[in-house]
A and B are shown apart, each in its own frame.
Chain A
Amino acid sequence: MSAGVRLAAAVVGLWVLLALAGPWLAGDPNAIALERILAAPGAPGCPLGCDDLGRPLLDRVLAGARVSLEVALASVAVSAVFGTAIGLTAGYAGGLWDALAMRVVDVFLAFPGILLAIALAAVLGPGVDNVIIALAAVGWTGYARLARAQALALRARGHVLAATALGAGPVRIVLRHVLPLALAPLLVEVTFGIAAAVVAEAGLSFLGLGVQPPQASWGAMIRDGVRYLLVAPHAVLVPGVALAVVVLAVNLLGDSLRDRLDVRLRER
């Protein structure tokens, strides 16, 4: 492992750790303190500065880490499991089911990614749960395509034919003989999917479609901070640095995982 990858792994580890331990480490992220509105970093009680309601940015960044982790893990888990199930069965079974499933995938891909999430979040209404639903609804297609391609390539392999000849049922074959060999590229896709979900959650919250005030989210913090860019740039810089560093680290891990597992994903 190169130094860069080790650093990336450390950043991701820190993100997860702080997200989990945040509530015990930090103060109340929603505590309004009018005497320190837009206080600069280093002011008493707020090492990273405060926002327009005097809430310490450090506490809010930690709370935001929790939201981004929660949304990323939940939406990626749902879309990866659902998409993989659709893709593997479509690729293995072929026929009408395959044609139908891929037609649906095509329709979903006909919308530019984030737009569909924006539209869904808009009609479902704001909130963390709806963000997860919207992102999962958009994200599953990538896993479905990838899993289908893997299943197509694997179903003619000798060990699958042998299992079929021995009388194994289709469920057993897909789960025991196809899925394990398809996991490597899917795992790489999951890693990039987590990075994309973190950005998407922040993006939706930036547009006011995600996490609702007073709850903290990196995207919402940037949105609030933009209004005070002239007088308090730190309110935009702090959450943005957290966001960019985490996303960069997850992407670097994905790159390294891809090289390590030697899978070639089609760039889309």
Chain B
Amino acid sequence: MTGALGRRLLDAAGTALAVVCLVALLLRLVPGDPVEAMLGEGATAADRAALRQALGLDRPAAVQLAAYLAGLARLDLGRSLHGGRPVAELLAERLPATAELALAGWLVAVALAFPLGMAAALRRGSAWDRLATGFAACGISVPNFWLGPLLILAFSIGLGWFPVSGREAPGALVLPALTLGTALAAVLARMVRASLLEVLGEDYVRAARAKGLSEARVLWAHALRNALIPVTTVMGLQLGGLLAGAVITETVFAWPGVGLLLVDAIQRRDFPVVQGCVLLISLVYVAVNLLTDLVYLWADPRVRSGG
């Protein structure tokens, strides 16, 4: 157990470091002169020199990277080019909204996927099964930047139940969470169905039935527990993925999170803020993946001993 645990922690630390390095050097990918791209035509030579120095672009890549890492250790991610506020402060301000949205979207996904996937697997070939597989196919194919406007059209403009955008009004979370959660629900419902079908064909399920256990007990105590293991992995991985999906959903609903900050920063070519947003989302993603691995280790003794 400790060996597998230690290896995964080390792995995650290495990955996080690689992510930081890539993000730190992201600006070097800008074709031409990044300072020019950021400041535009009207900037003076002095402005440019100052920004170049502030971003470390006047120094070799290794020195720039070291400076970025040193800054990161003090939670100093540089300053926004618009207004000059520290990037870390901007991120801290926006993070709660994104966390709230991602969590709500994830709950929507779980709440939709489990009943659908389970019903489909238990009544294979029935109308439930067709509904679930149809929902899964559509949910995966309808992108959230279209689903969002459709929901706004139906529930905000048509029925007037929920606000069109923003975060303040009551019920503002509902449509963004539905938008974000639907695609994930589709993926999960598929997984739950496939996983449960596979487990229901196993010998130990037949043995449990042969013992004369009730169908409910066979399902809850024997089948579901094992079927859940692969599903947990996907659920975890997707929670991290939701943060990235939130970039688009937040844009649709003007939800004031990290994703909207990122898109606004890109449009203003405010690269320090872009770097900060990408870094934050990626590091959270790495952390969530690590957490998923740990849950997996805990849930499946076979991985523990075999790993």
Q: Which residues of A are interface residues toward B (Cβ below 8 A)?
A: 106-107, 110-115, 118-120, 122-125, 195, 199, 202-203, 206-209, 219, 222-223, 225-226, 229-230, 233, 236, 240, 243-244, 247-248, 251-252, 255, 267-268
Give A115 to B244 CA distance when docked, in angstroms.
6
> What is the interface of chain B mostly: helix, strand, loop, or mixed?
helix
Instruction: Please state if A119 and B274 are interface contacts (CB–CB under 8 Å).
Output: yes
Chain B residue at minimal CB-CB distance from A246: B141
Instruction: Please state if B281 and A251 are interface contacts (CB–CB under 8 Å).
Output: no
Q: Beta-carbon contacts of B30-56 to A below 8 Å, as 1s and 0s?
A: 110010010000000000000000000
How far, in Å, is B263 (CB) from chain A's closest CB?
6
Instruction: Please state if A113 and B244 are interface contacts (CB–CB under 8 Å).
Output: yes
Q: Pick from A112, A120, A122, A222: contact of B285, CB below 8 A.
A: A112
Write out the residue numbers on chain B whose beta carbons fall within 8 Å of the beta carbon of A112: 240-241, 243-244, 281-282, 285
How far, in Å, is B244 (CB) from chain A's closest CB?
3
Question: With A123-B29, A203-B143 as given contacts, are A107 and B18 in contact (CB-CB < 8 Å)?
Answer: yes
How far, in Å, is A64 (CB) from chain B's closest CB?
13
Instruction: Please state if B137 and A252 are interface contacts (CB–CB under 8 Å).
Output: yes
5 more A-B contacts (CB under 8 A) besides A223-B145, A247-B142? Answer: A112-B285, A114-B247, A203-B143, A207-B247, A244-B146
Instruction: Please state if B281 and A115 are interface contacts (CB–CB under 8 Å).
Output: yes
- Tally A-B pairs: CB < 8 A: 129
Question: With A111-B285, A112-B241 as given contacts, are A229 and B248 in contact (CB-CB < 8 Å)?
Answer: no
Instruction: Please state if B141 and A244 are interface contacts (CB–CB under 8 Å).
Output: yes
Instruction: Please state if A247 and B141 are interface contacts (CB–CB under 8 Å).
Output: yes
Give A107 to B37 CA distance when docked, in angstroms.
28
Which one of B84-92, B109-117, B150-158, B293-301 is at the A interface? B150-158
> What is the interface of chain A mostly: helix, strand, loop, or mixed?
helix
Instruction: Please state if A202 and B29 are interface contacts (CB–CB under 8 Å).
Output: no
Q: Pick from A106, A206, A268: contact of B237, CB below 8 A.
A: A268
How far, in Å, is A19 (CB) from chain B's closest CB?
18
Instruction: Please state if A110 and B18 are interface contacts (CB–CB under 8 Å).
Output: yes
Can you give 11 A-B contacts (C-beta < 8 A)?
A: A113-B241, A119-B26, A119-B278, A122-B274, A123-B26, A208-B266, A209-B266, A222-B146, A236-B149, A267-B194, A268-B234
Instruction: Please state if B22 and A247 are interface contacts (CB–CB under 8 Å).
Output: no
Instruction: Please state if A120 and B29 are interface contacts (CB–CB under 8 Å).
Output: yes
Question: With A124-B29, A203-B248 as given contacts, are A222 and B145 in contact (CB-CB < 8 Å)?
Answer: yes
Q: Pick from A223, A230, A248: contact of B138, CB below 8 A.
A: A248
Write out the residue numbers on chain B whose beta carbons fall within 8 Å of the beta carbon of A119: 23, 26, 274, 278
